[in-house]
């Protein structure tokens, strides 16, 4: 396998479908039948609770979530509770860390640097915070990161707030951090942003941080490499 990437951009996808897709890609990567992969998509409204999530960080009831059209999933990534939805680019890198000479810590730092590079393309100063995972613009979180490592291969990933409706974050304590807010590229710029432009910036940043080149494929192209998890 090379250090190149498969790129999938399926558009909108419910969370459970994307989770199944990740599982298939993970299994195929373990089997050595695909290169590393990056999935860029948008989710319909959903809260996800990571392995360190606390129920008290979910601030609205199931009835309220249903009324607002928000799904809820308990997932196997690291971290606490977060929100995914329209206007946010969620990225799922499926990477064999050993092939790229990375450990978990260096991988997460590289993800943060890539997202900071993306923000810089739009004139925004992003930063890392020694106390927290993710990317910050001043004191507000603009990108969340939560990963799972399976025998050296990654799944889950990052969520970058491009232009989501930030009011959906009011239903949770994002990432369990009580004293800081969340922001978006559009909010900081004061104007809308084209998601496709942000996606292209993400691809450039990934190439800068991890190397390789991208080969875009469709979901149907992967039918021959599906492998049971």
Number of domains composing the chain: 1
Query: Which of 103, 126, 114, 135 lies closest to 38, judged by CA?
Result: 114
Q: Which residue has the tokens 């922001």?
A: 183
pLDDT at 152: 96
CA distance 171 to 181: 13
In a domain, 9, yes or no: no
DSSP secondary structure code for residue 131 in this structure: T
In a domain, 33, yes or no: no
In a domain, 30, yes or no: no
CA distance 156 to 67: 27
Name the pTM for this structure: 0.94
DSSP secondary structure code for residue 118 in this structure: H
Domain that holds residue 201: 43-213
In a domain, 182, yes or no: yes
Read off the CATH number of the domain in which 126 is found: 3.30.930.10
Query: Which of 131, 142, 227 lies closest to 193, judged by CA?
Result: 142
pLDDT at 220: 84
Mean of all residue pLDDT scores within the chain = 92
Active site residues: 175
Interval 116-137 mean pLDDT: 95
In a domain, 69, yes or no: yes
The yes-or-no verdict on residue 29 having pLDDT over 90 is: yes
In a domain, 56, yes or no: yes
The yes-or-no verdict on residue 2 having pLDDT over 90 is: no
Segment 63-118, tens digit of pLDDT? 999 999 999 999 989 888 999 999 999 999 999 999 999 999 999 999 999 999 99
In a domain, 219, yes or no: no
Cβ-contact 169, 182 below 8 angstroms = yes
Q: Which is it for strands 132-137 and 140-150: parallel, antiparallel or unpaired?
A: antiparallel
The yes-or-no verdict on residue 37 having pLDDT over 80 is: yes
pLDDT at 223: 53
In a domain, 35, yes or no: no
């Amino acid at each position: 396998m090379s250090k190149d990437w498969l790129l999938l951009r399926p558009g909108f996808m419910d969370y459970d479908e994307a989770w199944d897709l990740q599982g298939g890609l993970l299994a195929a990567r373990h089997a050595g039948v695909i290169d590393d992969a990056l999935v860029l998509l948008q989710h319909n409204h959903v809260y996800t609770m990571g392995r360190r999530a606390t129920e008290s960080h979910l601030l609205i009831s199931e009835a309220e979530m249903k009324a607002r059209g928000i799904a809820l999933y308990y997932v196997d990534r690291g971290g606490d509770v977060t929100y995914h939805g329209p206007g946010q680019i969620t990225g799922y890198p499926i990477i064999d860390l050993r092939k790229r000479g990375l450990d978990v810590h260096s991988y997460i730092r590289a993800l943060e640097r890539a997202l900071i590079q993306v923000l810089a393309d739009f004139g925004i100063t992003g930063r890392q915070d020694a106390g927290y995972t993710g990317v910050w613009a001043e004191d507000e979180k603009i990108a969340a990161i939560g990963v799972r490592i399976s025998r050296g291969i990654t799944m889950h990933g990052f969520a970058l707030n491009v232009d989501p409706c930030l009011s959906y974050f009011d239903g949770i304590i994002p990432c369990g951090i009580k004293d800081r807010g969340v922001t978006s590229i559009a909010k900081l710029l004061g104007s809308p942003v084209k998601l496709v432009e942000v996606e292209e910036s993400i691809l450039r940043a990934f190439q800068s941080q991890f190397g390789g080149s991208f080969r875009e494929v469709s979901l149907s192209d992967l039918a021959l490499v599906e492998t049971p998890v």
